[in-house]
Structure 1
Amino acid sequence: MDFSFTEEQNLIRQSLQSYLQANYQFEARRQASLADGWRPDIWKAFAEDLGITAMTLPERVGGMGMDAVSTMLVMEEFGRSLVLEPYLETVVICGGILARAGGATADEMLANIAAGDRIVAFAWGEPNARYDFKSLASTATANGKGWLLNGKKSVVMAAPWASHLLVTARTSGKPGDSSGISLFLLDKASSGIRMSEYPTIDGRRAADVEFNNVQIGAEALIGEVGEALANIEQAGDEAIAALSAESVGLMSVLHEDTVAYTKQRKQFGQPISNFQALQHRMVDMYMEIEMARSAAYLVTLNLSSSVNERAVAASAAKVTISKACRFVGQNAVQLHGGMGMTDELAISHYFKRATLIESEFGSADYHLMRHAALRAS
């Protein structure tokens, strides 16, 4: 099978590499994570100088209509540079959902995302829901003015930076039902929204959000009433594909930096890279990365397959990258010794991001069970 990239895809990778090497050095990234957690000027550059915020969005809203392989290339480079900006949340997840749903409200927001003028956070997780999109207790009740939204969302990534929230809520049924789930796009400044913001261990920002009788207009509904689950589940699988690519990028840096360090660090008068036991461990790290790369390719190429095939590939990828992130991250830290956990060294920041990726959109245990259930169906 041919896994070579097109000339256009190689140009995307090369231009992004050049930009990040020039503008995203580790120390600048570390200072941004200690301040606001991101840099708005970088986000605007992604839109205006590189065009990647519009890359995979539909042409009808000013996008380029490119495929998931382009997202994979971008996310891998983001992993190598530990990019903080909410590309995954806004472009990959919310952009994908809005593009499939369509409608005037969705298209207007997509145009703003493409231009780099809006950031949208996906508010879907709830305190008692774990990773299941159907375990949804938040409600949206129709009234004469539109909808009345109530509920709680937990760990809404990028919410502190967002201008809008894309919220999942029940318009009918009970938690666990496949039907009755709807999507709403609302301004974060809407009356009745309470946010508790906090930094995450990887230097980004998240928030727990409460909706207390939030009145939103009828135009806030995205897609058909009660029929949003399929769109949301596809977004979840697309997020896993993007995270898989990101993990390959960051694990590659963990491995490269570890190999370089072991060539410099000496014990008993020789570099520790000469010790056979450590050579075996670094080879094992490389093998985990290559298995993760294969899983990332598999899920990316299956995003346009049938629902079952896509979901099976996504769960398989999530299990693979979760295992790889833990193995590569822990060994990178151990081979660096105590300094591997210091904030001044890049290794610790890559390790923290790898640790968070392990649980985003489902742990390895959750996806093992999901994979088994899908295979049995």
Structure 2
Amino acid sequence: MDFDLTEEQQLLKDSIASFLTDTYDFDSRKRFAAQAGGFSKEVWGKFAELGLLGLPFSEADGGFGGGAVETMLVMEQFGKALVLEPYLATVILGGGVLRHAGSAEQKAALIPAIAEGSLTLALATTERFSRYDLFDVQTTAKKDGSSWVLDGEKSVVVNGATADKIIVTARTSGARRDKAGIGLFLVPGDAPGVTRRDTATQDGTHVAEITLTGVRVGPEAVIGDPAGGLAVVERVADEAIAALSAEALGAMEELHNLTVDYLKQRKQFGINIGSFQALQHRAAEMFVALEQARSMAMLAAMTSETEDVAERQAMASAAKVQIGRSAKFIGQQAVQLHGGIAMTMEYKGGHYFKRLTMIDTLFGDADHHLSKVAEYGQLVSAA
């Protein structure tokens, strides 16, 4: 299999890396985090100018026709720079729902606005007791004439407090954990009955607790089949795992490089600590974990577009397991090899570990996905 990038893909990678090197140093990131919503509107506009916000959408819908590999390249560079802007929430999650289930009218109204940077989205699926089960939905959507009325609560919604529109999963029929009877609804962030409480997480990103109280939306707000939204959400979640795996890869690579540079510079007993063989071995083990993660991130990207649901979910889970394990190992080793400096807010190293920890919990941690990989193995052996 050819793993070489095309000329266009290499150009995309280089242009993003160059832009972030010039714009997104650690001090700039701290300034961006202090702005309203926890990110820079100016940088978001630059992403639009670079074509990143329209990258995965088809040209017919106003995008640039990029695929999973292009998304992987973008997210890897974002991971290296610890980018705070809501690319995952708007382009990967909300945009993914529109790509797979949006009507022609919805795509025409929303995708060009996303691409130009004037519209941000959030995907609200998680509830207080649902943990990682996307089908555990208590929020309800009841038909009232031609409209729908939504009631319920959503938790830990990435970019939920500042998103212009929120895509909400709500139960249109069935019991709480039924896999059928789940719809997707497009709700304006400032709609009557919507209450949003913003929270900054440990890695500097923002999530929201959202309450929906008698929120009324019209028939144009329904995305796809009002009873068959789960399959769409699961597919978007698999694509998000591939994107997050690439972001984690970028963060791990930068953290490894940062640690090796520190070993070369830090002196003890009058010599560089990088000359100690035991520390060299630990740095080498970090590199092995990094390369294992790289292989699985590439696998997740290559299989995220397959129509074989079982294979796609199995590969996404396998990637999540390895990414979680590698991230934990590399983060812990980086902290140990840096010493106390790695735990300070002023040093970049600890912030990589925080982001990697958050990535592990998004859409299921390593332990959760290990059980799913085991289930897939049982199904294969039974067949």
The bucket for the TM-score relative to the shorter chain is over 0.9
Q: How does 1:289-308 map to 2 (within 5 A)?
A: 289-305=290-306, 306-308=308-310
Contact between 2:68 and 2:305, CA under 8 Å: does it hold in 1? no
TM-score by length of 1: 0.98
Post-superposition offset of 1:357: 0.9
| C-alpha separation in 1, matches of 2:58 and 2:374 | 34
Q: Contact between 2:54 and 2:114, CA under 8 Å: does it hold in 1?
A: yes
Name the counterpart of 1:284: 285
Moved segments of 4+, more than 3 Å: none
The aligned runs of 1:209-288 (5 Å cut-off) are 209-288=210-289
**3-state SS, counterpart of residue 358 of structure 1:** helix
CA-CA distance at 1:304 after TM superposition: 2.3
Q: Which residue of 1 aligns with 2:324?
A: 322
2:338 to 333, 336, 339: 336
Instruction: Tell me how far 1:210 sits from its aligned partner.
Output: 0.6
The match for 1:41 is: 42
Which structure 2 residue ranges, 5 or more long, are not aligned? none
CA drift of 1:170 comes to 0.5
Q: 1:271-320: CA deviations, max 9, x gaps?
A: 11111111111011111110011001111111122111110100000000
Matched residue, 2:315: 313
Task: Give ranges in structure 1 of 5+ residues lacking alignment.
Answer: none
Alpha-carbon distance in structure 1 between the residues aligned to 2:176 and 2:108:
30
- Structure 1 residue 370 displacement after superposition: 1.3
CA distance in 1, matches of 2:305, 2:362: 22
1:165 aligns with 2:166: yes
Matched, 1:201 2:205: no
Mapped to 2, the partners of 1:322 and 1:34 lie a distance apart of 29
1:9 positional shift: 0.2
Query: Would you say the 8 A contact 2:56–2:64 is kept in 1?
Result: yes
Please tell me whether the aligned partners of residues 198 and 208 of structure 2 are also in contact (alpha carbons under 8 angstroms).
yes
Distance in 1 between residues matched to 2:100 and 2:108, nearest whole Å: 10
Q: How high is the TM-score relative to the length of structure 2?
A: 0.96
Percent of residue pairs bearing the same amino acid type: 46
On the 8 A contact 2:76/2:251 being kept in 1, the answer is yes
- How big is each residue's C-alpha offset from its partner over 1:36-62, in whole Å with a ceiling of 9 and x where there is no partner? 3100011111012x1011111121221
Residues 145 and 216 of structure 1 are in contact (CA less than 8 Å); yes or no, is this contact kept in structure 2? Answer: no
Structure 2 matches for 1:73-84, cutoff 5 A?
73-84=73-84
Equivalenced residues, count: 376
Mapped contact 2:61–2:107 kept (Cα < 8 A): no
The answer on 1:347 being equivalent to 2:349 is yes
Q: What aligned pairs does 1:1-150 form with structure 2 within 5 A after superposition?
A: 1-36=1-36, 37-48=38-49, 50-103=50-103, 104-150=105-151
Q: Whole-Å Cα distance in 2 between the matches of residues 184 and 310 of structure 1?
A: 25
The answer (yes or no) to whether the contact 1:89–1:157 under 8 Å persists in 2 is yes
Q: Which secondary structure state, in structure 2, belongs to the residue aligned with residue 150 of structure 1?
A: strand
- Name the SS for the 2:367 alignment partner: helix
Q: 1: CA distance between counterparts of 2:209 and 2:226?
A: 25
- Amino acid of the residue matched to residue 364 of structure 2? G
CA distance in 1: counterparts of 2:287 and 2:216, whole angstroms: 52
Alpha-carbon distance between aligned partners in 1 of 2:177 and 2:276, rounded to the nearest angstrom: 54
